[in-house]
């Protein structure tokens, strides 16, 4: 026999064997064989054989009645679709470690955690799928570092909630456009209320804000929490969900800040502990006002006086978000840098350049103009006439604006850190807090920032924040387990300082992470901006405008400030409702050492279970609609400033609305579809 | 410009706060004993960390022969167990945040070194999660 024939005879069976391996493996695994159980279900009962594994769930086989078995290929995502009225049995097995198996509404954690131990097959059901909608499968047992991301989806058709939400998205857009059309020449969202002018409350609030101790006390409290976060991250329980550093920062703070932005602008920056040590050292004072700096007091380089570092910092952190939100040591290291860097920068220049240009949380500033609160002059004319302008230069009672603004003339909240120094330094008490419609100043700000030189740093901060709002929803609550695995560099363990070595990735892990990093950066830095540019170009054509596409593109991008903010709030709602118990438990047991510091007063730790698990989707969706509404209205207002023509503004807004609606539909699809 | 009273007060408060929080690690062993021991004051507390801290904390327990001792076992990170083959004793799976700690009573009659281990498979480090019970002979 010829050698080539022998080779072929050897290779052929191998190829056949390998190609048939998955089917063979599926069919011969005893736990997937219905005859092995000796249990008879009715013909209309569906039996789902579900594998529980680190990072998710996988359907291995579906049995209809007692006979027919289908082996689905669901390697990538865990999604099970049923019809209303289906009767379903889940046979669940873990292929690695101990897991849990609970389903929102159908097998709720409040009725007990279903622990799945290796080696056993667990049966749940028959469950009558009588409520249509989308429900999460969740593993409530801390099984590995990525456990907080472990989800599967169950969809019971007809998923009318989803279809209705899709329709409502489109209806919101049409209604908003109609509203604009019917009141074409009206300037929307222009009203303001002087909060400190309200009798009694206003006076009290002004007194509080002018008192230097108010900011100090808030900063001190947060500084203590901040240092505790670092210590817990270094020496506390390596499992993120049990460590103060993770739960308080990435559930409580992360969710709270999104709401703070909308209701209070940069109010987080008022109390932020990150730059305070640097600031106190540079000022040589903590609460008093000094005239001498402990700082080189050099000029901040103009090239760096923008948001590029912050935007890239936020994107960079997001690329490691799976590690940072699950490994206490990663959060601790991040926060150590967030204290050290401002100290060094304040020694170079005593003003808040760290906050203006470096802090990754500077996205707060990007969205601040979408807030309903702003620091503004009570009366602009008074500021114009006032010669000495202590709000900018300082007085014995207050520093000149540490954020290097002229507060009296400021109409842009982006870089106003709400430190209230101008309230303290202004001898005429002319600074105040204004309550307004969200996005009121955005049109003017967008025009200013695209007139002489386009602020591409802020424009890209907008794109990064907007696209990541959608990505975070997908990563935190979606079922694309492979994606999570890549982002996690396939690591299993949580880590503190003592066990940081377990995070060392292999070359293959790094290669996987690169796939994830390229995907996320590609979408937020290139793909989404490119799509936005295309729509801006189309908007220009439809409006028959002479203005350059670049300028329209940049100006319209500011409408993502309110829209993106509302999407983040929608994410924050789900984040908090699902994980609320973890940060609360961390206050009773900060290091995750199984303490309960209030046991003596009878306060037990909370058992993990989602709040309003049947309503989460309905609580998230209104934020998406509100974001869409504000995005469209803001685009129209920007268009009016830009084109100086209501009709052109309307036409271009209609084009941009198509993009906004598509984005909203994607979000609705992720949360409800 | 000299510092006023408020500034001194603020400085002292800051130093106390920063110092207090930074020195917390020094008090952890004490607090740990206080908060954990409070539940089972008469038991030896053993904490299990899968694949970390050497698996169990403490890793070595000393008991005397013919003495009955109680071991309170806490799963600290992942579901796990404490099993003593020589006595055919096993806590069963203890799931953090889900099952309470398990308390077992042990009594060794023969002095020697005995191994306790985790019988729950939970990743590649499971086989390395072992601790030792040193049983000393003679009277107290
Ligand atoms: S910009 Fe960053 S560091 Fe500065 S106050 Fe705001 S959050 Fe804190
Ligand atoms: S001093 Fe500057 S940063 Fe502070 S509140 Fe006034 S304008 Fe904003």
ipTM for the whole complex:
0.86
On whether the CB atoms of residues A673 and A619 are closer than 8 A, the answer is no
Tell the residue number behind the tokens 């206490």, with chain if given: A328
Question: How many Cβ atoms are within 10 Å of A297's Cβ, its own excluded?
Answer: 13
Across B57-86, average pLDDT: 89
Question: Band of the pLDDT at B120, cuts 50, 70, 90?
Answer: confident
Work out the widest C-alpha separation in chain B, in whole angstroms. 76
Q: Is A203 helix (H, G, I), strand (E, B) or coil?
A: helix
Instruction: Check whether residue B90 and residue B21 sit in a common domain.
Output: no
Range of weakest confidence among A464-478, A601-615, B38-52:
B38-52
Question: CB contact, 8 Å: B38 with chain A?
Answer: yes
Question: Band of the pLDDT at A25, cuts 50, 70, 90?
Answer: very low
- Residues in contact with ligand 2 (CB, 6 Å cut-off): A 375, 401, 403, 405, 407, 410, 416-422
What would the two tokens of residue A113 be?
A: 């955690």
Strand order in A192-194's β-sheet? A192-194, A431-436, A373-377
Name the closest-CA residue to atom 4, ligand 2. A419
Instruction: Check whether residue B49 and residue B102 sit in a common domain.
Output: yes
Radius of gyration for the alpha carbons in chain A, expressed in angstroms and rounded: 28
Q: How many domains does chain B have?
A: 2
> Which residues from B are below 8 Å from A582, CB to CB?
none
d(CA A355, CA A361): 8
Domain membership of residue A182 (yes or no) is: no
Instruction: Check whether residue A570 and residue A637 sit in a common domain.
Output: yes
Spatial CB neighbours of A302, under 8 Å, sequence gap ≥ 6? none
Across A286-310, average pLDDT: 94
Question: pLDDT by residue (tens digit) across A336-357?
Answer: 999 999 999 999 999 999 999 9
What would the two tokens of residue A93 be?
A: 């097995």
Instruction: Check whether residue B131 and residue B65 sit in a common domain.
Output: yes
Instruction: Check whether residue A138 and residue A270 sit in a common domain.
Output: no
Instruction: Check whether residue A470 and residue A358 sit in a common domain.
Output: yes
Name the closest-CA residue to atom 6, ligand 1. A269
Q: How many domains does chain A have?
A: 2
What would the two tokens of residue A14 be?
A: 């191998």
Question: CB contact, 8 Å: B90 with chain A?
Answer: no
Instruction: Check whether residue A321 and residue A458 sit in a common domain.
Output: yes
Instruction: Check whether residue B15 and residue B75 sit in a common domain.
Output: no
Instruction: Check whether residue A297 and residue A250 sit in a common domain.
Output: yes
pLDDT for A15 equals 45
Across A427-451, average pLDDT: 93
Instruction: Check whether residue B19 and residue B53 sit in a common domain.
Output: no
Pick the residue from chain A with its C-alpha nearest to B52: A499
Instruction: Check whether residue A225 and residue A341 sit in a common domain.
Output: yes
For a ligand 1 pocket test, name from A314, A338, A344, A364 the mutation site with the most ligand atoms within 8 angstroms of its C-beta.
Answer: A364
Question: CB contact, 8 Å: B41 with chain A?
Answer: no
Domain membership of residue A13 (yes or no) is: no
Helix A581-588 with A560-579: angle, nearest 10 deg = 60
Average pLDDT, chain A: 89
Question: pLDDT by residue (tens digit) across A51-67?
Answer: 888 778 888 888 887 76
Distance from CA of B4 to the nearest CA of A (A): 8
| Contact state of A97 with B3 under an 8 Å Cβ cutoff | no
Instruction: Check whether residue A656 and residue A535 sit in a common domain.
Output: yes
Instruction: Please say if the pLDDT value at position A203 is more than 50.
Output: yes
Instruction: Check whether residue B19 and residue B3 sit in a common domain.
Output: yes
Spatial CB neighbours of A294, under 8 Å, sequence gap ≥ 6? A281, A282, A283, A284, A347, A350
Across B46-70, average pLDDT: 84
Range of weakest confidence among A266-280, A582-596, A625-639, B25-39:
B25-39
Query: pTM for the complete prediction?
Result: 0.90
CA-closest candidate to residue A251, choices A236, A273, A229: A229
| Contact state of A97 with B10 under an 8 Å Cβ cutoff | no
Question: Band of the pLDDT at A643, cuts 50, 70, 90?
Answer: very high
Question: How many Cβ atoms are within 10 Å of A38's Cβ, its own excluded?
Answer: 6
Instruction: Please say if the pLDDT value at position A414 is more than 80.
Output: yes
The number of helix segments (H) and strand segments (E) in chain A equals: 26, 14
What is the domain range of residue A249?
192-367+440-672
d(CA A647, CA A495): 58
d(CA A550, CA A548): 5
Q: What is the DSSP letter of A522?
A: I
Q: From the CB of A276, is ligand 1 less than 6 Å away? A: no
Distance from CA of A128 to the nearest CA of B (A): 27
Of A158, A175, A209, the residue at which a domain comes to its end is A158
Instruction: Check whether residue B45 and residue B113 sit in a common domain.
Output: yes
| Contact state of B28 with A607 under an 8 Å Cβ cutoff | no
Instruction: Please say if the pLDDT value at position A24 is more than 60.
Output: no
pLDDT for A17 equals 41
Instruction: Check whether residue A265 and residue A116 sit in a common domain.
Output: no
Question: CB contact, 8 Å: B58 with chain A?
Answer: no
Instruction: Check whether residue B76 and residue B126 sit in a common domain.
Output: yes
Instruction: Check whether residue A254 and residue A150 sit in a common domain.
Output: no
Instruction: Please say if the pLDDT value at position A7 is more than 60.
Output: no
pLDDT for A16 equals 43
Of A143, A158, A173, the residue at which a domain comes to its end is A158
Instruction: Check whether residue A79 and residue A125 sit in a common domain.
Output: yes
Question: CB contact, 8 Å: B40 with chain A?
Answer: no
Question: How many Cβ atoms are within 10 Å of A609's Cβ, its own excluded?
Answer: 18
According to DSSP, the residues that pair with A61 across neighbouring strands are A49
Nearest to B78 among A97, A285, A290 (CB): A97
Domain membership of residue A294 (yes or no) is: yes
Question: Band of the pLDDT at A27, cuts 50, 70, 90?
Answer: very low
Instruction: Please say if the pLDDT value at position A184 is more than 80.
Output: no
Across A91-110, average pLDDT: 88
Domain membership of residue A612 (yes or no) is: yes
Greater model confidence, A253 or A56? A253
| Contact state of B78 with A599 under an 8 Å Cβ cutoff | no
Instruction: Check whether residue A196 and residue A126 sit in a common domain.
Output: no
Does residue A539 have a cis peptide bond before it, meaning omega lies within 30 degrees of 0? no
Across A417-431, average pLDDT: 96
What would the two tokens of residue A597 be?
A: 């510091």
Q: What is the CATH number of the domain that holds B61?
A: 2.60.40.420
Task: Say how many Å lie between the CA of residue A411 and the centre of ligand 2.
Answer: 12
What would the two tokens of residue A244 be?
A: 């103060």
Instruction: Check whether residue B61 and residue B106 sit in a common domain.
Output: yes
Sign for the CA dihedral angle at A481, A486, A489, A495 comes to negative
Instruction: Check whether residue B29 and residue B88 sit in a common domain.
Output: no
Question: Band of the pLDDT at A22, cuts 50, 70, 90?
Answer: very low
pLDDT for A580 equals 92
pLDDT for A293 equals 94
Instruction: Check whether residue B47 and residue B98 sit in a common domain.
Output: yes
Strand order in B112-117's β-sheet? B60-64, B130-136, B112-117, B83-84, B89-90
Nearest to B21 among A141, A228, A285 (CB): A228
Distance from CA of B135 to the nearest CA of A (A): 28
Q: What are the distances in angstroms from CA A242 to CA A454, A583, A588, B77?
A: 45, 9, 11, 8
Question: Band of the pLDDT at A77, cuts 50, 70, 90?
Answer: low
Q: What are the distances in angstroms from CA A350 to CA A27, A214, A276, A298?
A: 70, 21, 11, 9
Nearest to B93 among A98, A142, A237 (CB): A98
Q: What is the CATH number of the domain that holds A121?
A: 2.60.40.420
Instruction: Check whether residue A583 and residue A481 sit in a common domain.
Output: yes
Across A496-525, average pLDDT: 90
What is the domain range of residue B21?
1-35
> Which residues from B are below 8 Å from A141, CB to CB?
79, 95-98
Best probe of the A interface among B52, B53, B72, B94, by most A CBs < 10 A, is B52
Question: pLDDT by residue (tens digit) across A132-158?
Answer: 999 999 888 887 777 888 888 999 999
pLDDT for B18 equals 94
Instruction: Check whether residue B27 and residue B59 sit in a common domain.
Output: no
């Amino acid at each position: 026999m010829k050698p080539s024939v022998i080779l072929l005879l050897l290779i052929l069976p191998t190829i056949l064997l390998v190609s048939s391996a998955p089917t063979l493996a599926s069919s011969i695994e005893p736990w997937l064989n219905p005859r092995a159980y000796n249990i008879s279900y009715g013909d209309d009962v569906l039996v789902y054989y579900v594998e529980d594994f680190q990072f998710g769930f996988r359907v291995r086989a579906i049995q209809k009645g007692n006979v027919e078995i289908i082996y689905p290929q669901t390697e990538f995502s865990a999604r099970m679709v049923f019809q209303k009225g289906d009767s379903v049995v889940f046979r669940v097995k873990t292929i690695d470690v101990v897991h849990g198996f609970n389903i929102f509404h159908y097998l709720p954690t409040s009725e007990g955690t279903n622990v799945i131990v290796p080696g056993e097959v667990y049966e749940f059901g028959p469950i009558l799928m009588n409520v249509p909608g989308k429900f999460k499968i969740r593993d409530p047992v801390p099984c590995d570092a990525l456990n907080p991301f472990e989800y599967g989806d169950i969809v019971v058709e007809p998923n009318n909630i989803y279809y209705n939400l899709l329709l409502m998205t489109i209806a919101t857009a049409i209604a908003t456009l109609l509203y604009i059309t019917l009141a074409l020449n009206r300037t929307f969202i222009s009203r303001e209320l002087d909060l400190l002018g309200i009798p009694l409350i206003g006076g009290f609030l002004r007194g509080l804000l002018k008192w230097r101790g108010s900011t100090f006390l808030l900063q001190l409290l947060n500084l203590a929490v901040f240092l505790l976060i670092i210590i817990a991250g270094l020496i506390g329980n390596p499992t993120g969900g049990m460590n103060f550093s993770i739960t308080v920062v990435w559930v409580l703070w992360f969710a709270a800040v999104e709401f703070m932005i909308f209701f209070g602008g940069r109010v987080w920056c008022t109390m932020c502990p990150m730059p305070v040590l640097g600031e106190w050292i540079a000022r040589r004072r903590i609460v008093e006002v000094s005239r001498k700096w402990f700082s080189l007091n050099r000029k901040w380089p103009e090239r760096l006086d923008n948001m590029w570092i912050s935007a890239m910092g936020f994107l960079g952190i997001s690329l490691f978000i799976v590690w940072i939100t699950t490994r206490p040591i990663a959060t601790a290291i991040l926060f150590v840098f967030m204290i050290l860097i401002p100290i060094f920068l304040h020694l170079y220049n005593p003003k808040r350049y760290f906050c203006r240009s470096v802090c990754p949380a500077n996205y707060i500033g990007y969205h601040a103009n979408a807030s309903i609160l702003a620091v503004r002059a009570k009366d602009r004319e008074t500021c114009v006439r006032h010669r000495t302008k202590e709000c900018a230069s300082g007085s014995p009672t207050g520093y000149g604006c540490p954020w290097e603004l002229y507060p009296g003339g400021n109409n842009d909240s982006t870089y106003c850190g709400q430190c209230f120094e101008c309230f303290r330094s202004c001898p005429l008490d002319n600074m105040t807090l204004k309550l307004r419609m969200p996005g009121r100043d955005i049109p003017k700000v967008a025009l200013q920032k695209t007139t002489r030189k386009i602020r591409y740093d802020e424009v890209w901060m907008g794109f990064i924040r907007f696209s990541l709002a959608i990505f975070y929803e997908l990563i935190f609550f979606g079922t694309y387990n492979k994606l999570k695995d890549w982002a996690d560099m396939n690591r299993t363990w949580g880590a503190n300082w003592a066990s940081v070595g377990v995070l060392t990735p292999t070359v293959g892990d790094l290669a996987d992470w690169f796939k994830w990093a390229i995907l996320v950066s590609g979408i937020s830095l290139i793909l989404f901006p490119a799509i936005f540019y295309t729509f801006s170009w189309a908007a220009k054509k439809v409006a028959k405008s002479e203005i350059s596409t670049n300028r329209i593109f940049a100006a319209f991008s500011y409408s993502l400030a309110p829209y993106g903010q509302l999407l983040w709030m929608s994410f924050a709602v789900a984040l908090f409702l699902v994980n609320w118990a973890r940060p609360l438990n961390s206050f009773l047991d900060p290091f995750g050492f199984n303490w309960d510091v209030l046991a003596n007063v009878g306060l037990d730790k909370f058992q993990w279970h989602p709040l309003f698990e049947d309503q989460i989707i309905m609580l998230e969706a209104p934020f998406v609609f509100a974001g869409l509404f504000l995005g469209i209205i803001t685009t129209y207002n920007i268009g009016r400033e830009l084109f100086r023509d209501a009709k052109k503004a309307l036409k271009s807004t209609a084009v941009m609305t198509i993009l906004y609606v598509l984005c909203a539909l994607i979000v609705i699809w992720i949360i409800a579809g | 410009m000299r510092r006023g009273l408020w500034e001194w007060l603020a400085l002292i408060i800051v130093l106390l706060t920063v110092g207090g929080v930074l020195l917390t690690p020094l008090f952890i062993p004490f607090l740990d004993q206080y908060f954990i021991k409070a539940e089972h004051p008469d038991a030896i507390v053993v904490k299990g960390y899968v694949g970390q801290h050497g698996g169990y904390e403490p890793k070595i327990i000393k008991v005397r022969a013919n003495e009955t001792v109680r071991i309170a076992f806490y799963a600290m990170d992942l579901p796990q167990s404490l099993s003593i083959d020589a006595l055919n004793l096993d806590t069963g799976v203890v799931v953090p945040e889900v099952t309470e700690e398990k308390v077992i009573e042990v009594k060794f009659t023969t002095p020697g070194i005995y191994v306790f281990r985790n019988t729950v498979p939970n990743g590649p480090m499971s086989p390395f999660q072992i601790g030792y019970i040193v049983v000393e002979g003679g009277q107290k």
